[in-house]
Structure 1
Amino acid sequence: MTRTDVSGLTQLGAKTDLPASPDAAVLERVPYGHPGSLANVRFTAPEFTSLCPMTGQPDFAHIVIDYIPRDWLVESKSLKLYLHSFRNHGAFHEDCTLDIAKRLIGLLHPVWLRIGAYWYPRGGIPIDVFWQTGAPPEAAWVPEQGVPPYRGRG
């Protein structure tokens, strides 16, 4: 059985304050114990929040991140703190979504990554943002993200 090396982590197992901003957040990684295995790792954040950069009003999204690790896994507590750091950060939906994806790519250098950000309506219009690094490897199992399109009341 592979044991993950957690010796370099600074946040896991310790009280960690919420970062003041996404730039101040520390994302940590641990070695992937199964290099070459095309495992799809999924993180779902159904209560993601950020601020509208124009009005300062809160925006809400259901975010799903899928990635296939190469050598690294993102440490989940650091990812949670990073995502929560957006709650007082003003940025458009598209910027939040792509910033998250590109930060993870820079940290992990995954085989493949996809993000789906299903934003709740602002001004009566939901904005969904989807991005991926390219086609997933042919042998990888990548299920649908399972978030239905916004239908409002009907």
Structure 2
Amino acid sequence: MTQTSHLTQLGTQIAAATSPEAAVLERVPNPHPDTAYVARFTAPEFTSLCPVTGQPDFAHLVIDYVPQDWLVESKSLKLFLTAFRNHGAFHEDCTVGIGRRLADLLEPRWLRIAGYWYPRGGIPIDVFWQTAEPPAGIWLPDTGVASYRGRG
């Protein structure tokens, strides 16, 4: 059995899940579990729906984590995030829910998610969540997303 033989999505054509709950997040063994390092995923075109109006909402997500035994398989993460396109939820629910789902799956040393949401009703809403204080000794770069001034 290889490190990826248990994966169900990688290397196959698969349709996006109809909801975040139905989406399958997969993990692979961390080849460096004894090393503290930061892995970053950036999703600058994240979309979901307003739960009240059904109108689309757009965000720039930045997910940083310090792995322990597991890494998130990136195709499954992409498909998971895509499952929000037809999902109605407030910005806070989407951002924190994604962070918690990843933390539950990966059991990382540390994880944070920054959700920079484009304006709804003229007000941008930024949501930040993390599992704990970052581990000592890691290099943690800025998320790279500026405060709102016509984001792009």
Unaligned 5+ segments in structure 1 are none
Task: Tell me which of 103, 106, 114 is aligned to 2:101.
Answer: 103
Q: TM-score, normalization: structure 2? A: 0.97
- 1:122 equivalent in structure 2: 120
The root-mean-square deviation of aligned C-alpha atoms, in Å, is: 1.1
Q: How much has 1:36 moved relative to structure 2?
A: 1.9
- 2:26 equivalent in structure 1: 28
For 1:149 and 1:21, locate their aligned partners in 2 and report how far apart those are by CA, in whole Å. 30
| 1:61-116 deviation line (CA, Å, top 9, x unaligned) | 00000000010000000000000000000000000001100000110000000000
Amino acid aligned to 1:31: P
Where 1:49 maps in the other structure, the secondary structure is strand
Query: Are 2:67 and 1:66 aligned?
Result: no
Where 2:94 maps in the other structure, the secondary structure is helix
For 1:108 and 1:152, locate their aligned partners in 2 and report how far apart those are by CA, in whole Å. 34
Higher deviation after alignment, 129-138 or 8-17: 129-138
For 2:105 and 2:111, locate their aligned partners in 1 and report how far apart those are by CA, in whole Å. 12
- 1:89 equivalent in structure 2: 87
Unaligned 5+ segments in structure 2 are none
- 1:140 equivalent in structure 2: 138
Percent identical: 69
Q: How much has 1:39 moved relative to structure 2?
A: 1.1
| 1:6-49 deviation line (CA, Å, top 9, x unaligned) | 11000000001000000000000000011121110000000000
Amino acid aligned to 1:38: A
For 2:45 and 2:13, locate their aligned partners in 1 and report how far apart those are by CA, in whole Å. 22
Q: How much has 1:151 moved relative to structure 2?
A: 1.2
Amino acid aligned to 1:128: D
For 2:104 and 2:132, locate their aligned partners in 1 and report how far apart those are by CA, in whole Å. 16
Q: How much has 1:134 moved relative to structure 2?
A: 1.4
Where 2:84 maps in the other structure, the secondary structure is helix
Count of matched residue pairs: 150
